[in-house]
Amino acid sequence: MNILVLGSGAREHSMVHALSRSPSVHQIVACPGNAGMGNTGICRRVPFKDNAELVRFCKDKIELAVVGSSKFVEDGTVDALVLAGIPVIGPAEDAGRIETSKAFAAKFMARQHLPSPRTHIVVNADEIAAAFAADNEIRVVKCDGFSHGSGVVVADSLEEAKAAALKFLKQHGAPLILQERLEGVECSYTILTDGQQWVSFSSCRDYKRAGDGETGPTTGGMGAVSPSPDLTPELDREIIETIVKPVVNGMKADNLLYRGFMSIQLMLTQQGPRVLEFNARLGDPETQSILTRFRGDLAGLLKDCAMGCLSSVGSEVAFGRHAAVSVVIAREGYPESEASDPVVRGVDKVVDSMVFFSNCRKSEDSEDFRFRSGRLISVTAVGETLDEAREKCYKDISRLELARVKYRSDIGLIS
């Protein structure tokens, strides 16, 4: 089987690595991919210019396309591939709005009666003022679409939230989403669905804040552990009954074609799990932890899903009891500033972990990597226990030569 992986980040690098272990895979094409993927012998990279050219390339060459970045959902690439008869893991553009538009997702959650934060959707300064007057517990401000990790503010005060709302209205435009701030532990719960059947694809504890102890600004993700140590069997059943089943049934009732991964971002509160948002794909760095644990035939499972014949037999058994820890190495000033020129060397000295590269290229005058993004690499280790995985991961990070970077030292610590 020849497989196309769409994206250029560490998430897509880990997809390439996991798919390369499937016995049915002959070649993987990463589009556009990154230079760090060169360590996978059956992977080659092709540039991405537009949907039409990609479809021409894939015709009669590609038997399955796997979407990593939601950019390809929003830009209609999934729709173009499906129309060309190529099986795709990734939702059609209209179904993908569950991630690409937070306003769409909020309305969907309300329609399906999903447990979620109290939410206001506003489009101008007058509506912002009215929302804050009616609800003085608003502390979370989100822009509607993609913002490269800078479109969410979790405020400590009402005044800070108001200022953020007015700033976002000017920066990102309408609509904005205003929400109450929930207290608890974040968790992502991932499923794979063909629109009819679905299977659980494990869980993660996410680490979104830039600093240790969940301090500092919100980022695209500084680390993840899988499975989530906070998810009890009782919570798992509650998530399935009150969230997963209504989501899948709701997409079906709305005639939205959804074949692929869905990562449901949750806050585990004292009142039960609450949906924060959706990723119409596997998350980053959650993917690195989840797929490093996976022991089944990933390519075969994804092909069945893309063809609309996913078995209802749970794939969770393919993970076993192993735990994984992923730590993100980012630029020194991330997420506020990406001006630093980071150094990441010594990957060949890593012993017990996988290193997955974000958007990067090789330097023209050395073997160094030049990075195009705020997050640089994910270091991921697997162990029999969470503590073992964590110890392996941080020991391998200490073997790297790093300069002008930052990373959290508490990923996987259980409090």
- Dist CA 94 CA 335 (whole Å): 30
Average pLDDT over residues 334-360: 94
Higher per-residue pLDDT: 222 or 151: 222
Nearest by Cα to 223 from 202, 203, 206: 206
Of 149-158, 214-223, 400-409, the least confident: 149-158
Q: What average pLDDT does the structure give for the chain?
A: 93
> How many Cα atoms occupy the beta-carbon half-sphere of 192 within 13 Å?
29
> Tokens representing 58?
């894939």
How would residue 321 be classed by pLDDT, with cut points 50, 70 and 90?
confident
How would residue 151 be classed by pLDDT, with cut points 50, 70 and 90?
confident
Say yes or no to pLDDT of 41 above 90. no
Percent of the chain topping pLDDT 90:
86
Say yes or no to pLDDT of 34 above 90. yes
Position 2 scores a pLDDT of: 97
Nearest by Cα to 294 from 265, 270, 324: 324
Position 149 scores a pLDDT of: 58
**Residue burial 53-80, b: 16+ Cβ < 10 Å; e: rest:** ebbebbeeebbbbbbbbbebbbbebbbb
Instruction: Determine contact, residues 229/254, Cβ cutoff 8 Å.
Output: no
Position 152 scores a pLDDT of: 87
Position 40 scores a pLDDT of: 87
Say how many C-beta atoms besides its own lie within 10 A of residue 337's C-beta: 10
Please calculate the CA angle 117-290-403 and round it to the nearest 5 degrees. Answer: 95
Whether CATH 3.40.50.2300 fits 184-319: no
What is the residue type of 336? Answer: E
Position 366 scores a pLDDT of: 81
Could you write out the three-class secondary structure of 281-302? CCCCCHHHHHHHHCCCCHHHHH
Instruction: Determine contact, residues 245/193, Cβ cutoff 8 Å.
Output: no
Beta bridge partners of 178: 120, 141
Average pLDDT over residues 71-79: 92
Say yes or no to pLDDT of 175 above 90. yes
Position 313 scores a pLDDT of: 55
Average pLDDT over residues 277-305: 94
At the topology level, CATH places domain 2-93 in Rossmann fold (3.40.50)
Beta bridge partners of 188: 204, 265
CATH superfamily ID and name for 118-180: ATP-grasp fold, A domain (3.30.1490.20)
- Dist CA 205 CA 223 (whole Å): 9
Every domain of the chain and the residues it spans? 2-93, 118-180, 184-319, 323-406
Position 414 scores a pLDDT of: 77
Phi/psi class of residue 85: alpha, beta or left (left: φ > 0; alpha: ψ in -120 to 50)? left
How would residue 415 be classed by pLDDT, with cut points 50, 70 and 90?
low
Average pLDDT over residues 338-353: 94
Q: Which residue blocks in 244-346 are alpha helix, DSSP H? A: 245-253, 286-293, 298-306
Position 281 scores a pLDDT of: 93
Tens of pLDDT, residues 88-143: 999 999 999 999 999 999 999 999 999 999 999 999 999 999 999 999 999 999 99
How would residue 315 be classed by pLDDT, with cut points 50, 70 and 90?
very low
- Dist CA 124 CA 127 (whole Å): 5
Say yes or no to pLDDT of 314 above 60. no
At the topology level, CATH places domain 323-406 in Glycinamide Ribonucleotide Synthetase; Chain A, domain 4 (3.90.600)
Say yes or no to pLDDT of 47 above 70. yes
> How many Cα atoms occupy the beta-carbon half-sphere of 22 within 13 Å?
23
Nearest by Cα to 80 from 60, 51, 47, 56: 51
- Dist CA 311 CA 9 (whole Å): 30
Say how many C-beta atoms besides its own lie within 10 A of residue 177's C-beta: 24
Between the CA of residue 80 and those of 146, 210, 381, what are the distances in Å? 21, 37, 37
